[in-house]
Structure 1
Amino acid sequence: MHTIAVIPARGGSTRIPHKNIKKFAGRPLIAYPIQAALESELFDKVVVSTDDEEIAEVARKYGAEIPFMRDKSLADNYTGTGPVVADAYKRIKDAGTPIDYVACIYATAPLLTAKYLKEGFEFFLKEKADFLYSCCEFPFPIQRAQYLDSNGSPYPVMPQCMPKRSQDLPKAYQDCGLFYFHTPRTLVADGSKTPIISRGFVMPRHRVIDIDTREDWDYAQAMFRAVNELKLD
């Protein structure tokens, strides 16, 4: 069984310049997911896909491989991670590496640990899935969400759910942007008509943080300190 990890890390972050290698709790942000991937011992290769030489240098320092530099056409503000991971898969496979499974791990995941990568992959294999994504439960019933009109007056998204008790509404989950597992057929067309099997792997909320703004950054560092000081799982 041959498995690789791809960590996308472009250099063009605008809201937090050079976010992926900015010092976070004393180390470059990208060092944390690289460490988690290496410590999991799941992967034949831990590859960082980047267009930026400085990011590449930092990633190598922390143990990742940079077998190629990402094309600039896949490093703009509009390209999602799917094409980036597919590009990495094709390049590495074409270079002669056999690949059965591909993980995509976000560079902005300082709270991710090897434990959850291993548990997620174990669930992925057990379910014989083609695609698995990390997710977390919404902290409130989304069925009772409300819009605000231009005057600030609320009106419900699902009026029929407003009279119901929270505990009577089904739980809902969101993609938490930490990691994904793929079989190759979810990355490149293989002509198969077999339905793709997808699964969600539920993460604890204290391991989930989205870092897009300066406020997110400060909150993430506070969470990081709290998780480590309290020794949360």
Structure 2
Amino acid sequence: MLYVLHVDESRKMNIALITARGGSKGLPRKNILSLGGKPLIAWTIQAALKSNEVDRVYVSTEDLEIANISRDWGAEVIPRPASLAEDTTSSEAVVEHAIAYFSEKNLAFETIVLLQPTSPLRTCQHIDNAFELYRAKKANLVLGVFEPAHTPLKAYIELDDGSITGLFTPSAPYTRRQDLPRAFQPNGSLYIFGIDCFLKDKQIPRDKVVPFVMSEQESADIDTLDDLLAVERTLRELTHD
């Protein structure tokens, strides 16, 4: 489907898209649980609103309470059908639905920064720096990552016969870390990509992917109560520093 936008082409927007469905098995209602005195999703909304690169901030949700809280904190809301809020719904299906919504509203936009509400330590400065990297590298995708303490390149995979071999190469598990390429773990905090790249294959770009490296602490992803409590402790420590 071709999305035709009918606004002045001289100024295309960067849009922040925050995906926040109501269902969550690991930590029920996690997107609106209190963290540091405000709903979890508010941290991401505020980071996007304070970004110098983001023109408008949208939350895609099927949940009325999340929608109301998101509006209270300054975001616009994309009403998402329940069929796109299942456990098996992909982020890409939600992005495609959002693009269709923007097209219906005649919004001209060039780039999306996809933000998950469970990454509260990702700041407006991270978003701005990631956009700078996106332009400097002429990337198709800038992806938030961290470098884990233990490289995954030394891991093994199981073969059909039950034996194991090195995930990267057969010799990688026996190779010094410093002699292996750097490896990164995606942290889910941000994905920056052009709309044209997305629409070409209806997916987040897989080539010309550039890492935006964050610390492991900044990469905190809240999925359990322990995660929430750990970030609460981190926020207290940062406040007292």
RMSD over aligned Cα atoms: 2.3
User: Does the CA-based 8 Å contact 2:112-2:194 persist in structure 1?
Assistant: yes
1:43 to 51, 54, 59: 54
User: Does the CA-based 8 Å contact 2:112-2:193 persist in structure 1?
Assistant: yes
Q: 11-20 vs 138-147, which deviates more?
A: 138-147
Give the number of equivalent residue pairs. Answer: 221
User: Does the CA-based 8 Å contact 1:206-1:227 persist in structure 2?
Assistant: no
Offset, 1:156:
6.5
Moved over 4 A (4+): none
1:108 to 98, 103, 118: 118
User: What's the TM-score, normalizing by structure 1?
Assistant: 0.86
Aligned partner letter, 1:96: N
Partner residue in 1 for 2:161: none
1:122 aligns with 2:132: yes
C-alpha distance in 1 between matches for 2:49 and 2:223: 25
User: Does the CA-based 8 Å contact 2:166-2:173 persist in structure 1?
Assistant: no
C-alpha distance in 2 between matches for 1:61 and 1:178: 22
1:189 aligns with 2:170: no
Offset, 1:53:
0.6
1:209 aligns with 2:220: yes
- The unaligned stretches of length 5 or more in structure 2 are 1-11, 159-163
Offset, 1:24:
0.9
C-alpha distance in 2 between matches for 1:131 and 1:147: 28
Describe the superposition over 1:108-141 as per-residue Cα deviations: whole angstroms up to 9, x where unpaired: 1110111110000011011222221111112112
Aligned partner letter, 1:34: I
Partner residue in 2 for 1:23: 34
C-alpha distance in 2 between matches for 1:101 and 1:143: 32
Aligned partner letter, 1:203: M
Partner residue in 2 for 1:142: 152
- SS of the residue corresponding to residue 49 of structure 1 reads strand
Offset, 1:196:
4.9
1:6 to 8, 17, 36: 17
1:27-176 map, 5 Å: 27-66=38-77, 68-145=78-155, 157=166, 160-176=171-187
User: What's the TM-score, normalizing by structure 2?
Assistant: 0.84
1:200 aligns with 2:211: yes
Aligned partner letter, 2:180: L
- SS of the residue corresponding to residue 87 of structure 2 reads coil
User: Does the CA-based 8 Å contact 1:89-1:102 persist in structure 2?
Assistant: no
Partner residue in 2 for 1:178: 189
Q: 211-220 vs 111-120, which deviates more?
A: 211-220
